[in-house]
Chains A and B, each alone.
Chain A
Amino acid sequence: QKEVEQNSGPLSVPEGAIASLNCTYSDRVSQSFFWYRQYSGKSPELIMSIYSNGDKEDGRFTAQLNKASQYVSLLIRDSQPSDSATYLCAVRLGGATNKLIFGTGTLLAVQP
């Protein structure tokens, strides 16, 4: 079982719709969870971090965390073509090191 799993996509949504990106992880003691956006040929850009169960909203983005189900998601409201990118889920493993394990990413395509 992979440590961090994401559906590779592509996930295609029409402009203005809600895009829902999902991620599951295997390390039960993980405490920190991150979503990065990566445009083609560019570096990963941190867009959301979440540490507690529940929802965290920032503008059009909402991260949701359910530690019991080992599940973290990212909702993008009012999706825009400029949101088209690969979204990487990253999980900080338990323990003393600050090691992030990345999923393979979900490619999001927002259709105008």
Chain B
Amino acid sequence: DTAVSQTPKYLVTQMGNDKSIKCEQNLGHDTMYWYKQDSKKFLKIMFSYNNKELIINETVPNRFSPKSPDKAHLNLHINSLELGDSAVYFCASSQVGGRYYNEQFFGPGTRLTVL
């Protein structure tokens, strides 16, 4: 009964490759997020979708492209991977508004290593 799941858990790839990370939530939330946590453990928002609409788009290289086919799924595609993209990528979800006060719940993370 995993709430927020991500695949893959680990991703090791060469510079220049293209890769995707997938996220799914079964909490019935309407908003999903991608975060990046760097080697210094700083957690930073990248993107957010509310009901399939992009609502947060931080200053992220356009090699990163999120896509939300429905409100339970959010994917992240990364083109032309660079060494600096190595990090842990977390997906999160929340229900905006109402009594849940926008509490965000995180998936297990995908550790991306670019060689």
Query: Number of contact residues on A: which range applies?
Result: 20 to 34
> Within the complex, what minimum Cβ distance (angstroms) separates A72 from chain B?
14
Contact B56 A102 (CB under 8 A): no
Which residue of A32, A43, A101 contacts B102 across the interface (Cβ within 8 Å)?
Answer: A32
B104 with A46: CB separation less than 8 A: yes
Set A45, A86, A97, A98: member contacting B106, Cβ < 8 A = A45
Given the interface pairs A43-B90, A43-B109, the reply to whether A32 lies near B101 with Cβ below 8 Å is yes
CA distance A49 to B19 in the complex (A): 35
Q: Mark A30-42, 1 if CB is under 8 A from B, else 0.
A: 0010101010001
Q: Decide: B43 and A99 in contact? CB cutoff 8 A.
A: no
Cα–Cα distance between A70 and B90 once the two chains are bound (Å): 28
CA distance A78 to B20 in the complex (A): 43
Q: A43-B107, A46-B103, A49-B103 known; A98 and B94 CB under 8 Å?
A: yes
Q: Do most interface residues of chain A lie in helix, strand or loop, or is the interface mixed?
A: strand
A30 to chain B, nearest CB (A): 12
Residue on B nearest A31 in the bound complex, by CB: B101
Size bin of chain B's contact surface: 20 to 34
Contact of B105 among A32, A46, A51, A88 (CB under 8 A): A46
20 additional A-B residue pairs with CB within 8 Å, beyond A102-B44, A104-B41, A105-B41? A32-B101, A36-B106, A42-B109, A43-B106, A44-B43, A46-B103, A51-B101, A90-B104, A92-B102, A97-B48, A97-B55, A97-B56, A98-B56, A98-B94, A98-B104, A99-B45, A99-B56, A100-B104, A102-B43, A104-B42
A selection of 28 A-B contacts at a CB cut-off of 8 Å is A32-B102, A34-B103, A43-B106, A43-B107, A43-B108, A44-B43, A44-B90, A44-B106, A46-B104, A49-B101, A49-B103, A51-B101, A86-B41, A88-B43, A90-B104, A97-B55, A97-B56, A98-B48, A98-B55, A98-B56, A99-B45, A100-B104, A102-B42, A102-B43, A104-B40, A104-B41, A104-B42, A105-B41
